[in-house]
Amino acid sequence: MSTKPVIAAALALLSLTACASEKPLLAAEVMKVEPNESIIACGEEIYVGAPVILWDDPLGYNAYSTDYHFEQPPASVSSPERGELRYAPGRVDRGTGEVLVKPETGGFLALQRALDMFVIHYDVCGVSQTCFRVLHDRRGLSVHFMIDIDGTIYQTLDLRDTAWHARQVNSRSVGVEIANVGAYPLGSSEGKRILDRWYRVDQQGPRITPPGDPEALGVLTPGFVGRPARDRKIVGPVQGETREQYDFTAEQYNSLVKLTAALCRHFPELEADAPRNALGRVTTARMSEAEEAEFGGIVGHYHVSAQKQDPGPAFDWERFLVQVQTRLLRL
């Protein structure tokens, strides 16, 4: 695994910000690092075909770190102590606790047997920088991937290691957090306030308007203007409750399709489909324990937790799955 080179001046600038208490680098403060197009599993590269920033890249997010990435949260916030892990090294059998993939030395074939689920989340944070701040610095959690509003994929852990993102399915799964402020009960005042703050409607339809400079929020594409893939709020049921949400960006779907297809191609237990009901439609509520135990494939967080709603009613399951399956035919 190699890190893309940066000039000496940029490295000197990076060294000034090594302390966790320092302000993090903005994309414009360091020479642009050409993204990889591959992710890492057991130290091996898997080609994705979308921009990937790895955890050890200058602009990456490192879930292996046991210090704060940004700054120590205030004392009023319950947060992990310095030195605490935010993940579990290696992989174990979810039923017996038997070690399936050893930390640092675990092999790819063992990982292929261990992984059979890809969990899709939305981050409720709006951008990946804020997502990592919340997960890593405040909650002591982790996720393998984040996809920002411009489609940049951040990998924070080798797939060999277990991220803490979906409780009982962590040991068998890979997780991704897609930047989106989330879905809210239809007509709720909180939902209206948040969605109105994050989206403005112009002549071309809704546009993402983060509360701050997108570059200062870590969005790597200069001048990026994000728009939902569909030009209206999407309303639909999740866990039996009607919610509304703006769709993810076309750039996010494009990167997610490529990432998912790469995972399905290299991990044979991971089927390129989601849980479906008797009518063949993707389900909108939590699976039963028996269904969860038997299912291997792509799920939303709500499929494995009755308390969760992500990726929400706006996630276009059918279009996404067709695109993943089509891409697999071409790989």
Please give the residue range of the domain that contains residue 259: 8-182+248-330
What is the average pLDDT across 56-83? 93
Number of domains in the chain: 1
206 found inside a domain? no
222 found inside a domain? no
- The dihedral formed by the CA atoms of 97, 305, 199 and 212, expressed in degrees to the nearest 10: -40
CB 148 within 8 A of CB 215: no
Percent pLDDT > 70 in the chain is: 89
pLDDT digits (tens, 9 = 90+) for 89-140: 999 987 788 999 998 877 999 999 999 999 999 999 999 999 999 999 999 9
154 found inside a domain? yes
pLDDT digits (tens, 9 = 90+) for 145-189: 999 999 999 999 999 999 999 999 999 999 999 999 999 999 999
Neighbouring CB atoms inside 10 A of 324's CB total 22
- Which CATH number do you get for residue 99? 3.40.80.10
**CA pair distance 47, 208, nearest whole angstrom:** 30
Residue 150 CB-density burial (10 A; 0-12 exposed, 13-18 middle, 19+ buried):
buried
pTM of the model: 0.89
Q: pLDDT at residue 241 above 60?
A: yes
CB 89 within 8 A of CB 96: no
Total length of the chain: 331
Q: pLDDT at residue 311 above 80?
A: yes
- The dihedral formed by the CA atoms of 64, 40, 51 and 31, expressed in degrees to the nearest 10: 50
Task: Tell me what pLDDT residue 219 has.
Answer: 97
Residue 292 CB-density burial (10 A; 0-12 exposed, 13-18 middle, 19+ buried):
middle
